Every structure is written in C-alpha cells, then in structure tokens.
Amino acid sequence: MRLSGRLSAAIEILDDFEKRRVPLKTAIADWSRNNRYAGAKDRAWISGLCLDVLRKRNSLAAAMGNGSARSLVLGALRILWVKPFDEIADAAAEEPHGPGALTQDEVCALGDESDMASSPCGADEVQAEERAIALGEPHVAGDFPEWLAPHIERVFGEDAPVIMSAFAERADIDMRLNTLKTSQEKTLAALKTVKAETVPILTTAARIAAPDPSEKAPGVTVIPAFNKGWVEVQDLGSQIAACAAGAIKGAQVLDYCAGGGGKTLALAAMMENTGQLYAYDRDPRRLKPLFHRAKRAGVRNLQIRSPAGGEGLDDLSGKMDVVFADAPCSGAGTWRRHPDTKWRLTEKQLQTRNSEQALVLGEASQFVKPGGRMVWVTCSFLMEENEDRLAAFLNDHDEFVQVPALECILSSGLITDDGADILKTCVTPDGAVRLTPDKIRADGFFIAVLEKRSLSG
C-alpha cells in the first residue's frame, strides 16, 4: 500500500475504535477482513501508527488544535514519526486513496517553523496560546483521560504529568531467562540474534529495545531458545513482582490468580523445582496455556488446580507458606503496551475491579498458614485498586500485618545492587513497592506483602 492508503486506513480504524469502543486489535482485525489487499507489513505499519496515536492522543490533539482521527493520524506521522511535511501533504492529497488535501489549519499545525514565519499561521497568537495552555494541563501533558485526573493526582501529585508521560512511551520487549532449563550466559548467547541485552536491575532479565513502530516486531516466540523453554516473554515489572514471593525454595506456594501462568513460571524458577507450587484461577479457560507452557519451561513441581475439573483448594486451607495474589485490575500499568485500554476504561469498570479485588483478598488469605505471607500484586498504579483495598482488608483482618515488600523482593536473591538502589525509590509510605516506567522502564506494578501472625505471636 502507498502512504496515502495507509493514512486513510489508520483514520478509518481509529474512527471505528472511537465509535464502537472495541479493543484496537478488534478494529484492526475487522478492517483487515474487509481490506484483504493489505499485507503483513501494511498491517504492522497501520497498527504501529494507531497505537502511537492512542499513546499520545491528548497531546497530539492539543498540538493539532483538533482531536479528530484524521488530525491525530496526521499529527502522529509528523510529530512522532517525524515524516517530512511535503510527503504527508502529497500523500493526503493523492487520489484516489488519500484522505484528502490538507486544510489550512492542518498546514499550519504540521508545517515546520520556517514555513510558519511566512505563512498566515504565524499570525494566530490566540490559537498558539490556547494550545500552550492545553499542553500544560496534566491530562494533556500526561496523555490520560480527564476523568482520571483526580485519581492520578492522588497517587502521583504534581509529578503526574512526568510519570504519566512515561506511560505514554513505547515499551521494550522484556524477557525472563529460564534458569530451570539452562544458564543465563547460554540463553543470552542464544538471544544475540535478536539483539537482546541484559537488564541491570534483575539478573534473570533480558531486553530488546522498543522496536520501530512502523515495522513488524521481532518474533521472539519463533526463535529456537524460546521453543526450547530457555526464555519467556515477560515484562520486567512482572518479573520483579514475582520476586516478592522471596526465598521460596522448598516452600508450599499457591498462585491464586494464575491466569496464563506468567508469574507461576517465574515462581517455579525461583523454587528450582523444589517444594510444591499450586496454580489456580477462577476462570478455567485462562489456565489452559499453562499446561504446555509449564512443560516447555521444564517445571516439575506444579499442580494446576482448575475449577473446571472440580479440583478445589480445600485441602490447602491455612497451609501455604506464600499465597501469591496477582489480582484482576484495570491494567493501567500496561498502558504503554495497550494504550487503547486507557481510553476504554470507565469509572464503572474501576468499581467492578475494586469489588473483585476485595473478593480475591478475602479468598486468597484463607490459604496462608500462620507465619506465612500473602503477596498482593496488581498491574495498576491507582490507589483505589491497591492501598484502599489493602486498608479495608487489614481493617477486617487483624491477624495480618503489612511488611516491607522491598525486603521480600531482595530476599529472592535475583536483584542486582543497582536494581536495589532503584527499587528503594519506588517504596511507598506503607512499605509497598510501586513500579513506574519513569523509574524502571517497565510496566506499572503495585506490590505489597502481608504477613499472617504466627500462632505464638
């Protein structure tokens, strides 16, 4: 496809996304079904541009003076992808596939400064001032929905725009080196072909820098090291969250919200196939991939307890050294990877997640033995999904106390000295750890650890 057609496609998809409020993936799949001439490279380019638009939707709208899909697409191409003005203008005007010639306002917003001086654009000081004011608003500078501003300011205060800007950047491809299968050195050597590098925070993590958004991402899951189970694709924040289970060799561990098993596999590696690991999820469909993932990863100490098979957890009540609760949440911490979700989140959904979180805390805590621990994790930075839920739980359960999460993370033995220094800056007043991409270049995670008083204590 030519640039003209790709531009029109991105505009059509974003219009559809706005209208139907479906995931961006769905809007792209539906568009592709109706436009079969588009090849894999076209789809990757269009998808990359749409994702970048959604990452920076508010600041692009302010810069363009207009939030329509057309303005956002043109703005992203010029401002974020730094395409030459003439190329964009020609593609827009190209018949029959272009979205239509640039308007005077678009010329002004997209033209370079030397053009501006001699054009009518330079004269409009009022408009320029309005844009500057809009860009100073936290939800515009930080590119998040305006209704979330009080929630975000509550947690990040005046740092909100800076921190939220980091959530509007592209994400790297992070990987976990699976020490159950082979050494870190061997896996890193095998990952040279995809230009992976070590991460100075965690000894078992590697990273491929955020790929060019206009091209197909490197296929990590097709390289031999992946198929041999030497490596898992897993965000660094998620890997650090798993570390909060601490020194768990030989322990009895329940992953209560195991889902597809990303954290389960990390926990299994930390246990070095000793002790007993249980994986449970209320939704049996979510557990399905874990069966073959665990096999590929060489996990031998795992029991998957699926509610579908009537396999309950009654026999585990009050017996676990560690219960890991990676709770359902808004996913706000993953906005770099899934920027469409920030615009689809509603207040009602947030309340639903809060009820689910209260339920998970109550249920999961029953399996902790006296003296044992419950690790609370969400991929959300919002206090409503974390501090508030924990405070309500602790208010009703005085047999639990919150303990410093950083100490537990460090006791895993996987964090480097530099990593420990960075993580110290992520500790909250309550002793939890809140990871944000401005500090660790990873998804946002909240990690807290609660200890159940021992019978003698």
Closest contact distance (angstroms) between CB of 412 and ligand SAM is 16
CB closer to ligand SAM out of 283 and 421: 283
388 marked ligand binding residue: no
Site string for ligand SAM, 288-327 (x = CB under 6 A): --------------------------------------x-
Q: Which residues pair with 427 in a beta bridge?
A: 433
Closest contact distance (angstroms) between CB of 45 and ligand SAM is 29
> Tokens 């601490």 label which residue?
246
Closest contact distance (angstroms) between CB of 16 and ligand SAM is 28
Residue 53's closest CA among 38, 66, 40, 42?
66
326 marked ligand binding residue: yes
Task: Indicate if 379 belongs to the active site.
Answer: yes
CB 264 within 8 A of CB 258: yes
CB 418 within 8 A of CB 201: yes
Residue 412's closest CA among 278, 269, 303, 300?
269
Q: Which one among 263, 336, 369, 373 touches ligand SAM, defined by CB under 6 A? A: 263
d(CA 343, CA 139) in angstroms, rounded, equals: 12
CB closer to ligand SAM out of 115 and 363: 363
Does residue number 388 form part of the binding site for ligand SAM (CB under 6 A)? no
Closest contact distance (angstroms) between CB of 325 and ligand SAM is 8
Q: Which one among 328, 419, 437, 444 touches ligand SAM, defined by CB under 6 A? A: 328
CB 206 within 8 A of CB 302: no
Does residue number 260 form part of the binding site for ligand SAM (CB under 6 A)? yes
CA dihedral (141, 142, 145, 148) positive or negative = negative
Binding piece for ligand SAM, criterion CB under 6 A, among 13-21, 149-157, 160-168, 255-263: 255-263
d(CA 3, CA 101) in angstroms, rounded, equals: 14
Closest contact distance (angstroms) between CB of 335 and ligand SAM is 15
Does residue number 174 form part of the binding site for ligand SAM (CB under 6 A)? no
> Tokens 């009050």 label which residue?
318
Query: What are the start-end ranges of the H helices in 104-235?
Result: 104-110, 113-117, 125-136, 138-141, 149-156, 160-166, 184-190, 224-227
> Tokens 């020194």 label which residue?
247
Q: 50, 121, 379, 426: which one is catalytic?
A: 379
Which residues of this chain interact with ligand SAM, rule CB under 6 A? Answer: 256-263, 281-283, 286, 326, 328, 356, 359-360, 363
Residue list, annotated binding site for S-adenosyl-L-methionine: 281, 326
Residues annotated catalytic, as ranges: 379
